[in-house]
Amino acid sequence: MPDHRDLDWILTHLGEDREKYFGAVAPPILQSSIFCFASVADMRARMRDEYAEHCYTRGNNPTVEILRAKIAALEGAEDCLVFGSGAAAISAAVTASVSAGEHVVCVQKPYSWTHKLLAQLLPRFGVRCTFVDGTDVANMENALESATRLIVLETPNSLTFELQDLAAVASLARARGIRTLCDNSYASPLNQSPIALGIDLVAHSATKYLNGHSDVVAGALCGPQAILREVFKGPFMTFGAALSPHDAWLMMRGMRTLRLRVERSGTSALKIAQWLEAHPKVEQVWYPHLPSHLQYALAKRQMCMSGGLLSFAPRCETIAAVERLCDALRRFLLSVSWGGYESLACPTAAFLPPDTPVDASLPRPSPPNLVRLSIGIEDADVLIADLAQALDRI
């Protein structure tokens, strides 16, 4: 995990060469699509290394480059590429790693668009994927084939928070020369360091904690420069999901307070999870740092703390009751996504027909009465009071 003295340096100073821009404390937004060259010889030399030089902003840009250096340092990675979304970062990592006839192993229930990439899009190009319950590393081992090139992890996932043992999966993969990719959006670079545990590539939906203000969609991919150069020459440049200099600047502005926000949301989320678990109208709470979580020991070993996201199932007989509860919330906005300064509620019911039965006997990886909460930076007691009055409606 990054040591906190380093963390302050990374977020406040790393990559910022203020003498180059008049001592300005905030970096300039170099809103230019192209950069010109001093001579043909200069042009020839720099165009040969678009990954590192400034030539064309789909590839690299000086404002974007500061952000890349900061995120790489946060993950303890050699380098980082940033993208126009987290989905683009994950798609680029995967498509750079596999070819037709090859195979991917992925955890069950990854982020929805990661699932669509692996289950629907890539099979059209001859890449197969097996989804496995990643709570037991033996399941991953059993799914490996001679054609397996990549293992896709997401620990924990962002709905019911199943974990994978990163060190165990990494050693399994390394022994067989298989690349590993971990979506670290939930833990953020502050609470979990997959690269230190032997994982090759780390992806982020930077839309979530890294930016933290619900005003930018962005992604990041961290890892060894050799792999990132491969990603750059392949999907990064051909699909062209680059982050604009302005969005990179907003991201850096958001990241100044990353530590404050992540610590605050995580502390409040634990308090709220404990409060919900003790509430008579709550059937179940999902949160890695609750002793009731099936992988609590692994969560404590692998993550400093949990994030600001948690899920709970209120004791509701009907979807209508879940709706009454959620509609009564005043401090939580009803929305998708998470990781911003503001608290959000996202009920599974919003994605189901209103007459869906809430039946405890049905298979329940994600029950219809599940409500996911993203805890922002508001006072935890204010949020608890709001949840209390909403739970009174059922």
| C-alpha dist (Å) from residue 3 to 8, 191, 264, 301 | 9, 11, 18, 17
How near is the Cβ of 354 to ligand PLP at its closest, in Å? 26
Quote the least distance from Cβ 7 to ligand PLP, whole Å: 22
Choosing from 57, 60, 61, 85, the residue that interacts with ligand PLP (CB under 6 A) is 85
The nearer residue to ligand PLP, 155 or 369, going by C-beta atoms, is: 155
Residue written as token pair 């690349």: 179
Length of the chain measured in residues: 394
**Distance from CA of residue 107 to its chain's centroid?**
15
Contact partners, residue 182, CB within 8 Å, separation at least 6: 153, 154, 155, 166, 194, 199, 201, 202, 203
Q: Among residue numbers 104 through 123, which ones bind ligand PLP (CB under 6 A)?
A: 111
Select the span of 66-74, 203-211, 358-366, 375-383 touching ligand PLP (CB under 6 A).
203-211
Is the previous residue joined to 156 through a cis bond, with omega within 30 degrees of 0? yes
Q: Under the criterion CB under 6 A, does residue 194 sit at the interface with ligand PLP?
A: no
Q: Minimum Å distance from CB 205 to ligand PLP? A: 3
Please, which residue, 158 or 284, has the CB nearer to ligand PLP?
158
Stretch that binds ligand PLP, among 169-177, 200-208, 284-292, 320-328 (CB under 6 A): 200-208
Among 159, 163, 217, 255, binds ligand PLP (CB under 6 A): 217
Distance CA 48, CA 110 (A): 37
Of 83-91, 130-138, 171-179, 294-302, the window that binds ligand PLP (rule: CB under 6 A) is 83-91
Q: Which of 27, 59, 86, 376 binds ligand PLP (CB under 6 A)?
A: 86
Token readout for 186 is 């939930």
Closest residue to ligand PLP using C-beta atoms: 86
- Residue 10 and residue 74 in contact, taking contact as beta carbons nearer than 8 Å: yes
Interacting residue with ligand PLP among 95, 205, 306, 348 (CB under 6 A): 205
Q: Closest separation between CB of residue 304 and ligand PLP, Å?
A: 18
87 binds ligand PLP (CB under 6 A): yes
With contacts defined by CB under 6 A, how many residues of the chain interact with ligand PLP? 14
Which range binds ligand PLP by CB under 6 A, 202-210, 244-252, 355-363, 377-385? 202-210
Pick out residues in 161-190 that bind ligand PLP (CB under 6 A). Answer: 183, 185-186
C-beta of 82 vs 349, nearer to ligand PLP: 82
Nearest residue (CB) to ligand PLP, 350 versus 384: 350
What gap in Å lies between CA 191 and CA 93, rounded to an integer?
Answer: 22
- Residue with Cβ nearer ligand PLP (87 or 202): 87
Cβ-in-10-Å burial (0-12, 13-18, 19+) of 362 comes to exposed
Q: Is 158 in the site for ligand PLP (CB under 6 A)?
A: yes
Tokens of 172: 């399994």
Q: Is 285 helix (H, G, I), strand (E, B) or coil?
A: strand
Nearest to 206 by CA among 346, 302, 339, 72: 339
Report if residue 207 touches ligand PLP, rule: CB under 6 A. yes
| HEC assignment per residue over 42-92 | HHHHHHCCCCCCCCECCCCCHHHHHHHHHHHHHHCCCEEEEECCHHHHHHH
Least distance to ligand PLP, CB of residue 114, Å: 6
Task: Please say which residue, 186 or 249, places its beta carbon nearer to ligand PLP.
Answer: 186
- Burial of 55 from C-beta contacts in 10 A (0-12 / 13-18 / 19+): buried
Which among 199, 241, 243 has a CA at the least distance from the CA of 224?
A: 199
Instruction: State the nearest-atom distance from the C-beta of 358 to ligand PLP, in Å.
Output: 25
- Binding residues for ligand PLP, rule: CB under 6 A, are 85-87, 111, 154, 158, 183, 185-186, 205, 207-208, 217, 219
